[in-house]
Structure 1
Amino acid sequence: MKNNSESAAKSLKREEMVKFAFDTFYKNGFHATGVDTVMEGTGISKRTLYKHFGSKEGLILATIDYYRTNMLEIILGYINSNPNAQPVDKMLRIFDFLIEKAEEGHYNGCFVMNAKTEYTNKGTEIEASCDQYTAGIQQLIEATLKEGNILDYNELAVQIMMLFEGAIIRSKVTRSANTMRLAKNAARMLCEYK
């Protein structure tokens, strides 16, 4: 029994560290946040942090995994919330998700895109983990378009992904949900063209 409760406590502490690091990295950036900040915020020692993650990069990978797992599930649930929607309308809801987040005041961009930008040519594992996330979003778009029997759905998914990522980046500058609305309209026109 003791091992199970110790294991649960360690898992809970690890999860607490990941969530705190996630929030801090998202707010301040990856390079601007040192492990000391995470240690202070969670009350853990450097030894414990390195025992769980091995390095700051290991902690960053854990936060990316946390984001990827949660966000893909949230987005999938969001676009499938209306079971009667046509596939193209379901796919376009990915932009509604962005609009909703922007209207709530979330202008920090995409956590994974931020990590990819900061670690380009500096962290192979971090870049690969980020690429997994964006590939997952693109596969979700592809699958939804394929369901609608859209010709060239693979090519269209890449174009929509460019609009999706561009809208996120642009909204960081404009601090406006209008960027997402424009991207959604452009995605709709692309779908109608196909």
Structure 2
Amino acid sequence: MNEKRQRLVNTALHLFYEHGINSIGINEVLKVSGVAKKTLYNHFQSKEELILAALEQRHHVFLAWLEKKLEGASSNQELVEKLFTALKSWFDDGEPMLGHFRGCFFINSAAEFSQPDSQITQYCCKHKRDVASLIEKYMPQANPILLDTICIMKEGAITTAYVTGNHDVAFQCIRLINNNIIDEAS
């Protein structure tokens, strides 16, 4: 990827994640990145294209991070523990690959672009489907009900940690899932 294009995407992702997409204009991205406006428009026809590139970059980073965290789970219980322990570490700013915790970039972005047919909303939905597929890939024992539970609780944990500051919600999820779902499946 072109160095200036990458700098624009990196800068946009950082600014959008830290401050929200609608509060950051193109001029702010240009100022912080040090890239000329003409160069920006050589790579992106619109702010929406830049947003989509930032979403795509975060998507790949998050999936690579998550895959690393879930590898080697030998039981569904261990998968649950690995996932929510990793989330807790992210909430506590202990995951340099993901940066400072500001909630889920995809939830935040979808909230700013709530039209179901917008490309941004559609990309956010794709991200959530891909995360669920990745979790399912690492589940040693297939269990669709557990997968749905994990995904719903993961979203709730991320939102709760961001909105309330209660980072221990990740450990509450482990207890709830293990006590109520995994035990019943045995």
Please report the TM-score for the alignment, with normalisation by the length of structure 1: 0.85
Contact 2:70 2:138 in 1 (8 A): no
**Aligned pairs, how many?**
179
Unaligned runs of 5+ in 2: 95-99
Aligned with residue 57 of structure 2, among 66, 70, 90: 66
User: What is the CA deviation profile of residues 11-49 of structure 1, one whole-angstrom value per residue up to 9, with x for unaligned ones?
Assistant: 111111111111100110000111110010112222221
Q: In 2 relative to 1, CA 84–18 (structure 1 residues): closer, same or farther, beyond 3 Å?
A: closer
Q: What secondary structure sits across from 2:138 in the alignment?
A: helix
Q: CA deviation at 1:163?
A: 0.2
* Structure-2 residue corresponding to 1:33: 24
Contact 1:88 1:144 in 2 (8 A): no
Q: What secondary structure sits across from 1:33 in the alignment?
A: coil
Aligned with residue 169 of structure 1, among 159, 162, 165: 159
RMSD: 1.8
Q: CA deviation at 1:70?
A: 1.1
* Structure-1 residue corresponding to 2:110: 116
Q: CA deviation at 1:123?
A: 6.2
Q: Which runs of 4+ in 1 moved over 3 A?
A: none
> Percent of counterpart pairs with the same letter?
26
Per mean C-alpha deviation after superposition, the further-off stretch among 13-22 and 38-47 is: 38-47
Q: Please give the alpha-carbon distance, in whole angstroms, between the structure 2 residues aligned to 1:101 and 1:73.
A: 14
Q: What secondary structure sits across from 1:113 in the alignment?
A: helix
* Structure-2 residue corresponding to 1:130: 124
Q: Please give the alpha-carbon distance, in whole angstroms, between the structure 2 residues aligned to 1:90 and 1:122.
A: 32
Q: In 2 relative to 1, CA 125–20 (structure 1 residues): closer, same or farther, beyond 3 Å?
A: same
Matching residue's letter, 1:127: T
- Is 1:154 equivalent to 2:148 in the alignment? no
Aligned with residue 96 of structure 1, among 60, 79, 85: 85
Q: CA deviation at 1:85?
A: 3.5
Paired residues for 1:12-23 under 5 Å? 12-23=3-14
Q: Please give the alpha-carbon distance, in whole angstroms, between the structure 1 residues aligned to 2:42 and 2:177.
A: 46
Please report the TM-score for the alignment, with normalisation by the length of structure 2: 0.88
Unaligned runs of 5+ in 1: 1-7
Contact 1:102 1:177 in 2 (8 A): yes
More helix per residue:
1
